[in-house]
Chain A
Amino acid sequence: MAVLTDAPARPGAQAPVRHTGRPDRRRTLLLLNLVSIAAGIGLWWGLARAGLQFPTPAEVAAQAWTMAGDGTLLDDATASLGRVLAGFLLGSAAAVVVGFLMGWYTVARGLFEPWIQFFRTIPPLAMLPLVLVLLGIDETPKIFVIFLAAFLACVISTYQGVVSVERTLIAAAQVLGAKDGTIFARVVVPASTPFILVGMRVGLGSAWATLVAAELLAAQEGLGHRMQSAQLYYDLPTIFVGIISIGVLGLLMDRLLQLAGSRVTRWQEQR
């Protein structure tokens, strides 16, 4: 019974051969995450107490409660989210179409590439003054710069996905009788989804970054605008509420996208 005597006396380690490490490690990681967050808030509290010009976490929470109560937080968040979603969805959709065209047709690649390369070097925000002049000061210019940010971040990735589809997969479809249309829909599109998703995640981050800046410059409502006006009144708790809301919303959207993505690309080999 060498097996029994060799078995480690760890609690809960009944089957040491099977990969017990995984859930264990995940739990450890989660615990460490929580510890880290608690420590961060503790540090913040400590610094606020030590006389830095910070509001304490309690003050920020109270301010968030007030803003949630009178509806400003929800209004601002809705306004910001609406802009980001509109710009991001339009941008991603356009990026997927253009990326596929560029990957599949040499003509499209030749025509689109110089413009994309050119606009990629310009931060979308730098377009804002021009866009404001041309499109007025309502929602359109803000959504447009967010669209631009999301589109530019996602299009190259989609294009990369299309051109890096394995040749043998296309050959395999061809010898099974598939013509171009079928190959595109049933091989190229699924094979490039992991690339598109990476592009969309980058695009989402980019869209958020652009949104807040756009709202700081020109908006009547939204989280960025709220922070901007709080700055005039030296209202630090409101600024903190804004920052945290943006972070939390961005994180939530990223996680949602990641979750949807891992559903769609479950077939991928994990390396």
Chain B
Amino acid sequence: MTTKISVREVSRVFPVGRQDFTALDRVSLDIADNEFVTLVGPSGCGKSTLLNILAGLDHPTAGTALVDGRPVSGPGPERGVIFQQYALFPWLTVRQNVEFGLRTAGVGRRERRETAEHFIRLVGLEQFADALPKTLSGGMKQRCAIARAYAVDPSILLMDEPFGALDALTRVRLQEQLLATWNADRRTVVFVTHDVDEAVYLANRVIVMAARPGRVFEVVDVDLPYPRTEKIRLSPEFAALRNRVWQAVYHQ
């Protein structure tokens, strides 16, 4: 396993009035190629800040974040991001949204269309390819965003509480779908969540963070096999891991 992402002594301090707020305090961690890592922790632990730094949308005040051995200096299409608020372009249809990154990359019309078609089918939105985002439900919007991120073929997917705004049923369904997609087509995934169940169910490895200052509190390896099924979700092994993560998150 080669190292895909390497976070070295990364700190991020936000000036808040006269005082400084330390969102991240010398955080270090390595993430292997094709690993599925979840970041979980209480609010203010810096999990989203860390994700934004990896995405290149924010910069560390100290330390470096390396992707494929190179320091991150800005956003790029090799690191796809999925936002909690979906961030679909409301004036574009599902298809046009999925094609956005391909058009930016200068991919020709026909190839663009085929690629978009493929990923729209992958997330099950083929009947809504020409619909505007305003006509979609939250879950469908997020599936469209996932297809859009996948379409530019990133080697890393950074997901910031992507299912946080969805109802429990839709969330479970999208977790299944995400895992199925990831199983068929493995990438490195960094997934931020505040939901302990979700963190354990999806990940190879759960990184529990603590707040004030934001730091890595505990790393829990999840040695449950993929594909994960309902049987696994209800197994005692899963329960034990979940309890451990729960303790780490709520009794820091």
Where the two chains meet, the residues of A that have a C-beta atom closer than 8 Å to any C-beta of B are: 166, 168-169, 171-178, 182, 186-187, 190-191, 193, 265-269
CA of A177 to CA of B78 in the docked complex: distance in angstroms? 8
Provide 19 A-B residue pairs closer than 8 Å at the C-beta atoms, listed in order of the A residue. Answer: A168-B87, A169-B87, A169-B89, A171-B75, A171-B81, A172-B83, A172-B89, A174-B57, A175-B57, A175-B80, A176-B80, A176-B152, A178-B101, A186-B100, A265-B91, A267-B91, A267-B92, A267-B134, A269-B90
CA of A266 to CA of B92 in the docked complex: distance in angstroms? 10
**B79, A175: Cβ atoms under 8 Å?**
yes
Q: Nearest 9 A-B pairs (CB), nearest first?
A: A177-B77, A176-B101, A172-B87, A174-B75, A267-B91, A175-B81, A168-B87, A190-B91, A175-B75
**A190, B57: Cβ atoms under 8 Å?**
no
Determine how close the nearest CB of chain A comes to the CB of B200; give it in whole angstroms.
27
Binary flags per residue of B83-107, CB closer than 8 Å to A gives 1, else 0: 1010111111000000011001100
- B81 contacts which chain A residues (CB < 8 A)? 171-172, 175
CA of A186 to CA of B149 in the docked complex: distance in angstroms? 17
Determine how close the nearest CB of chain B comes to the CB of A102; give it in whole angstroms.
22
Determine how close the nearest CB of chain B comes to the CB of A190; give it in whole angstroms.
5
**B55 in the interface, Cβ–Cβ < 8 Å?**
yes
Q: Which of B48-62 contact A (CB under 8 A)?
A: 55-57
Determine how close the nearest CB of chain B comes to the CB of A177; give it in whole angstroms.
4
- B79 contacts which chain A residues (CB < 8 A)? 175
- A175 contacts which chain B residues (CB < 8 A)? 55-57, 75-77, 79-81, 149
Known A175-B57, A268-B134, A269-B134; further 15 A-B contacts with Cβ < 8 A? A168-B83, A169-B89, A172-B83, A174-B56, A174-B57, A175-B76, A175-B79, A175-B149, A176-B101, A176-B148, A177-B77, A177-B104, A177-B105, A182-B104, A267-B92
- A267 contacts which chain B residues (CB < 8 A)? 90-92, 132-134
Range, interface on chain B = 20 to 34
- A182 contacts which chain B residues (CB < 8 A)? 104
- B80 contacts which chain A residues (CB < 8 A)? 175-176
Q: Which chain B residue shows the least CB distance to A191?
A: B91
Q: Which of B120-159 contact A (CB under 8 A)?
A: 132-134, 148-149, 152
Determine how close the nearest CB of chain B comes to the CB of A178; give it in whole angstroms.
5
- B133 contacts which chain A residues (CB < 8 A)? 267
- B134 contacts which chain A residues (CB < 8 A)? 267-269
Q: Which chain B residue shows the least CB distance to A169?
A: B87
CA of A193 to CA of B90 in the docked complex: distance in angstroms? 12
- A166 contacts which chain B residues (CB < 8 A)? 87
CA of A186 to CA of B97 in the docked complex: distance in angstroms? 11
Q: Which chain A residue shows the least CB distance to B55?
A: A175
CA of A175 to CA of B104 in the docked complex: distance in angstroms? 11
Q: Which chain B residue shows the least CB distance to A265?
A: B91
Binary flags per residue of B35-59, CB closer than 8 Å to A gives 1, else 0: 0000000000000000000011100
Q: Which of A173, A265, A269 contacts B100 (CB 8 A)?
A: A173
CA of A174 to CA of B134 in the docked complex: distance in angstroms? 22
- B89 contacts which chain A residues (CB < 8 A)? 169, 172-173, 186-187, 190
- A168 contacts which chain B residues (CB < 8 A)? 83, 85, 87
Determine how close the nearest CB of chain A comes to the CB of B54; give it in whole angstroms.
11
**A171, B77: Cβ atoms under 8 Å?**
no
CA of A176 to CA of B91 in the docked complex: distance in angstroms? 17
CA of A30 to CA of B79 in the docked complex: distance in angstroms? 53
Q: Which chain A residue shows the least CB distance to B52?
A: A171
- A187 contacts which chain B residues (CB < 8 A)? 89
In the complex where A267-B132, A269-B134 touch, is A177 in contact with B76 (Cβ < 8 A)? yes
**B100, A176: Cβ atoms under 8 Å?**
yes
- A169 contacts which chain B residues (CB < 8 A)? 87, 89
CA of A165 to CA of B133 in the docked complex: distance in angstroms? 17
- B85 contacts which chain A residues (CB < 8 A)? 168
Determine how close the nearest CB of chain B comes to the CB of A98; give it in whole angstroms.
23
Q: Which chain A residue shows the least CB distance to B158?
A: A175
CA of A177 to CA of B101 in the docked complex: distance in angstroms? 6
CA of A231 to CA of B155 in the docked complex: distance in angstroms? 77
- A177 contacts which chain B residues (CB < 8 A)? 76-77, 101, 104-105, 152
- B77 contacts which chain A residues (CB < 8 A)? 175-177
Q: Which chain A residue shows the least CB distance to B78?
A: A177
